[in-house]
Amino acid sequence: MTAPRAPRSEDSKTRNALLDATLQLMVEEGYAAVSTRKVAAKAGANPALVYYYFRTMDELFLAVFRRGAEANLKRMRGALVAEHPLRAVWEVSSEPTHAALTMEFIALANHRETIRAELATYSTRFRQMQEEVLVRALDTHGIDDDRFTPSALVVLIGGLSRSLAVDRMLGLTAGHDEVRSLIDECLRHFEVPVEQKNSTRATLTGEEAPD
């Protein structure tokens, strides 16, 4: 019930500059620092143009989010065919700007319903792709652990990459080396060619599953 207006060209130079400026402001100073004037100033454009291209600030945020989301989904599609898919998934999730931006949008989502909804549908798609990668990777390597199911791993990967990013931002690094090498060890399991593995019932942690 909101949009009786002619859509603006999506590949306008100004429009993109405004999106870039918004993105940069969000990462550097947080979403609360985003305002018509600041965005326009950073983009070298006139403040009124924000409302020409995006009807409201909410739509500006949504446009920034969608652009980033599409880029991430594209990267995730790349992970599907990468040499080491699981490592690729981890790296996409761990990208610093991705993590920082996700945090900002999560905070925004807490009190803007439109953004909450968009974030939820995007996350679902993002995770579905990850799950695809995982199902294939686990299958290829003959790993079948009732506890570390694909959907559980998706939650673990996303949660861990995000919290490592938050810690870094706060300047907390205790335990990070251990966690990183833990993850690295885990990922390395999937870089071993299948022929070299002998088990029919291996587990993610590299030990025989208990009965």
Q: What are phi and psi of 89, to 5 degrees?
A: -60, -45
Q: Note whether 61 and 31 are within 8 A (CB).
A: yes
Contact between 55 and DNA per CB under 7 A: yes
Interface with a second copy (CB under 8 A), residue from 19, 62, 64, 119: 119
Interface with a second copy (CB under 8 A), residue from 3, 48, 81, 170: 170
Interacting span for DNA (CB under 7 A) from 19-27, 56-64, 109-117, 149-157: 56-64
Residue 203 binds: one of a second copy, DNA, none (C-beta under 5 to 8 A by kind) = a second copy
Contact between 14 and DNA per CB under 7 A: yes
What minimum distance in Å lies between the beta carbon of 26 and DNA?
12
Q: What are phi and psi of 202, to 5 degrees?
A: -85, 165
Contact between 114 and a second copy per CB under 8 A: no
Interacting span for a second copy (CB under 8 A) from 13-21, 36-44, 53-61, 112-120: 112-120
Interacting span for a second copy (CB under 8 A) from 14-22, 35-43, 54-62, 142-150: 142-150
What minimum distance in Å lies between the beta carbon of 199 and a second copy?
12
What minimum distance in Å lies between the beta carbon of 149 and a second copy?
5
Contact between 66 and a second copy per CB under 8 A: no
Interface with DNA (CB under 7 A), residue from 27, 42, 57, 167: 57
Q: Name the amino acid, one letter, at 47.
A: P
Radius of gyration of the chain (CA): 21
String of DSSP letters for the chain: ----SPPPPTT-HHHHHHHHHHHHHHHHH-GGG--HHHHHHHHTS-THHHHHHSSSHHHHHHHHHHHHHHHHHHHHHHHHTSSSHHHHHHHHHH-HHHHHHHHHHHHHHTT-HHHHHHHHHHHHHHHHHHHHHHHHHHHHTTB--SSS-HHHHHHHHHHHHHHHHHHHHHT--TTHHHHHHHHHHHHHTTTS-GGG---SSB-TTSSPPP-
Contact between 129 and DNA per CB under 7 A: no
120: how many CB neighbours lie within 10 A of its CB? 10
Residues engaged in binding a second copy (CB under 8 A): 29-33, 100, 103-104, 106-111, 116, 119-120, 123-124, 127, 147-149, 151-156, 158-160, 162-164, 166-167, 169-172, 174-176, 178-179, 181-182, 185, 203, 205-210
